[in-house]
Amino acid sequence: MRSLRRRASGQRALLSRLRDGRRGRRSAGVSRAHIEARGLFKRFGHVEALAGLDLTLDAGECLALLGPNGAGKSTLLRIVAGLARPSEGSLSIDGDAAHERTARRRIGYIGHASLLYPELSARENLIFAGRLYDLADPPGRADELLSEEGLSEVSQRLVSGFSRGMAQRVAIARGLVHDPDVLLLDEPFTGLDRRAARRLESRLDALRRSGHTLILVTHDLASAARLAQHVVVLSEGRTVYESRGPLEPDSLERTYVDALEDAP
């Protein structure tokens, strides 16, 4: 329970930091994002959470970031989000350091914890997020996203009365409110039934095809295989496997297990 509370607290801090780098949806004609990490180290005392990571992620690509707990996945997401800085090395988004406001405002986040305001309705949560990002029409954007999530009929209900799956669908809409170029996904299928999970998969694939850059952290290897064109397996802060190209779910599972067994 203490671990879950720490993780939820970290996700709240991440969302707050991303909003500090806000300023609206992407303007027409602006290119999507290319991410590059070089010699990335992150140390906490004597512990190396990341140990010399190199990574290139192209615009319009979905990266499945896999590995056991403690492998460094969440640390990497925090650095991409600008919430933490590397101890050594660099991580840039189209040449801008990830912690700079120009980079942070291009990032969206969907996590396994909804982190919604329970005393607000679904629509009010999205309008509030839209205003934080200085959207031109927060109510209109809220209605658009709620319709896409199939939640229009319950948009005025307080989130405190929602099921876990319904709350997660509102959180998905909230993560997309400013049309981010880079979308960080930390176990986004948590709480979703099969139908909602497949809807989210279709939504993410459409975003990728339109040029968004996605980083997906998940233990659902089947979803990772369906969505990702780029797979990285981390173990103790190091890349132990990397590939580009389509993978079948069974093949990815075997590859994942073999990579961890062969890791030094």
SS (H, E, C) the chain: CHHHHHHHHHHHHHHHHHHHCCCCCCCCCCCCCCEEEEEEEEEECCEEEEEEEEEEECCCCEEEEECCCCCCHHHHHHHHCCCCCCCEEEEEECCEECCCHHHHCCEEEECCCCCCCCCCEHHHHHHHHHHHCCCCCHHHHHHHHHHHCCCHHHCCCEHHHCCHHHHHHHHHHHHCCCCCCEEEEECCCCCCCHHHHHHHHHHHHHHHHCCCEEEEECCCHHHHHHHCCEEEEEECCEEEEEEECCCCHHHHHHHHHHHHHHCC
Amino acid at 236: E
Q: Which of 208, 184, 176, 171 is nearest to 84 (CA)?
A: 184
Q: Encoding tokens for residue 18?
A: 């991303």
| Cα 18 from Cα 136, distance rounded (Å) | 18
pLDDT score at 130? 96
pLDDT score at 4? 43
Other beta carbons less than 10 A from residue 196's beta carbon: 18
Greatest pairwise CA separation for the chain in angstroms: 53
| Cα 16 from Cα 10, distance rounded (Å) | 10
| Cα 44 from Cα 238, distance rounded (Å) | 15
Q: Which of 180, 185, 215 is nearest to 104 (CA)?
A: 180
| Structure-token match 């968004």, residue found | 212
pLDDT score at 30? 46
Q: Encoding tokens for residue 168?
A: 């997660």
pLDDT tens track for 100-153: 988 888 999 999 988 999 999 999 999 999 999 999 999 999 999 999 999 999
| Structure-token match 């492998």, residue found | 71
pLDDT score at 3? 47
- The alpha-carbon radius of gyration of the chain (Å, integer) is 18
Q: Which of 68, 62, 71, 78 is nearest to 7 (CA)?
A: 78
Yes or no: say if 98 and 17 are a contact pair by the CB < 8 Å rule: no
Q: What is the pLDDT along the chain (264 residues), one digit of tens a residue?
A: 444 445 445 555 555 555 555 544 544 444 578 999 999 999 999 999 999 999 999 999 999 999 999 999 999 999 999 999 999 999 999 999 999 988 888 999 999 988 999 999 999 999 999 999 999 999 999 999 999 999 999 999 999 999 999 999 999 999 999 999 999 999 999 999 999 999 999 999 999 999 999 999 999 999 999 999 999 999 999 999 999 988 888 899 999 999 999 887
Domain 2-27+36-262 grouped into CATH 3.40.50.300: yes
Amino acid at 160: S
Record the pTM: 0.85
